[in-house]
Every structure is written in structure tokens, then in C-alpha cells.
Amino acid sequence: MKTTMKTTMKTTMKTKLFLSMLTIAIGFTACKKDSPDPVVDTIITETVTEFGYHAEPTMTQFGPVYTGDYTKFSFSEGGQVEGDDWDIAFRSTHIIVNGGVASSDTSEPSRSSGNAAIYIIDNVMADVTSVDTSLLMQDGELSSAIINDLGVGADGGPGVWCEYANQIVTPISGKILVIRTHDNKYAKMEITDFYDTDPAHIYGGFYTFNYVYQSEEGNTTF
């Protein structure tokens, strides 16, 4: 009789222990299911300092002519690239994008795989929260989408990002460049300086700019 009672008690205790562990396991599983997935931030904010090089012009009867290579920038890499995966490129005040058609300037980098486009809007950087895709333009054979060597747009209007006076280039505050990258992502940037600290580099060509990059493909919000 005692043996039977002990056996029954052991069985009961094992059953209770099993049920307790099962309850904990179910509760743990339920908690795991109820926990939200971690939020992945796709927004990257950076500052680039003195990007580019001192492109000294050749002086002609028609004014200065700039030649030489462009410095290519990739938002996904956060810096200079050498291949075809660039988004925007700089030479003196001339800015081009990896999309559209190259001009007759043979020093322009290849646009073989790019779909980049650009526009400029007057605003505060923080207030540009989305992309107006209807404003995007690509480079053409006769003119760049936005900017030529004097920092003036094709129509002398919305493409102006700087002032040129007394042989000094000064970025205009509140000119926000909105860019579709070569691989259909988006960025916004504001140029804040055109020179480095070397007084011998009188022609500038060194860009300092702030940018925000939306790394999620197709997402037009910042």
C-alpha cells in the first residue's frame, strides 16, 4: 500500500512538474510571437569634407575652360568610387549625375548602368521630407540636368546652387539637391563650402556637404 501511494505521489509530482514546464514553454513562445520585429533604420546622415580636387582652368578668350577627370561619389559607399556604381560626380563647379546622356566632353565618366537624376529645391534641409519625382531630371547631350561650370542651371533658374562674385564661388544656403541614385534610391544634400584650407587653391573644387541617404530602394521619404 505504501509503495503504491509513493508511486502515485511521484507520478503526480512528475505530472505537475511537466505541466508547469509546458506552461512556461507556451508562455515563452507566446511572448516571443508577441514581440515586435526590430525596426531597421534605413536613413543615413553624414557630412563629407573637402571632396574633390583643385581643377585649375585653361584661360581662353571665352573665359576659363575646365578639363580633367570627375571625382565620383556614391551614397551607398559614403565616399569616392572608381567604377560605374557612382551617383554624382564633381569637377570644379560642374556637377553631373549617373543617368541620362553624356555630353561631348570625353572626360565625363561612363553612364552605362545608371538611372540617376536630380533637382534643386529652395528649402531647409530638415523640411525636405520626401522626393517629388516629377521634378527629377537627367543629364543631356547639350546640357547637364541642373548645373554647368558657372553653377547655373540650364535655364538660369532652379539649377543655381552658388553665387560667383569677385572670383569666389559661394554656395547658397537653402539650395537642397535632391537625387535619385544610379540604383533607384534617394538622397538629399546641401553644399556648404567649395574650398579647402590651402590658400594656393584659388579655384576651389573641394566640396563640403551634408547629406541624408534613404538606403531602402524605392522609398521616397527621408
The CA distance from 147 to 119, in Å, is 10
The CA distance from 191 to 211, in Å, is 9
* pLDDT value at residue 209: 98
pTM: 0.78
pLDDT at 58 over 60: yes
- Identify whether the C-beta of residue 95 lies closer than 8 Å to the C-beta of residue 144: yes
pLDDT confidence tier of residue 67, bands split at 50, 70 and 90: confident
Reported as half-sphere exposure (CB side, CA atoms, 13 A), residue 96 has a value of 27
| pLDDT higher at 130 or 56 | 130
pLDDT confidence tier of residue 59, bands split at 50, 70 and 90: confident
pLDDT at 26 over 60: no
pLDDT at 27 over 70: no
pLDDT at 139 over 50: yes
**Strand pairing report for 94-97 and 117-122:** unpaired
**Residues paired with residue 170 on neighbouring β-strands, in sequence order:** 163
- Identify whether the C-beta of residue 153 lies closer than 8 Å to the C-beta of residue 147: yes
- Write the pLDDT tens digit of every residue in 86-130: 999 999 888 999 999 888 888 899 887 789 999 999 999 999 999
* pLDDT value at residue 111: 87
CA distances from 75 to 39, 111, 128, 172, 179 (A): 22, 16, 18, 22, 10
Q: Which residues contact 101 (CB under 8 A, 6 or more apart)?
A: 111, 138, 139, 140, 141
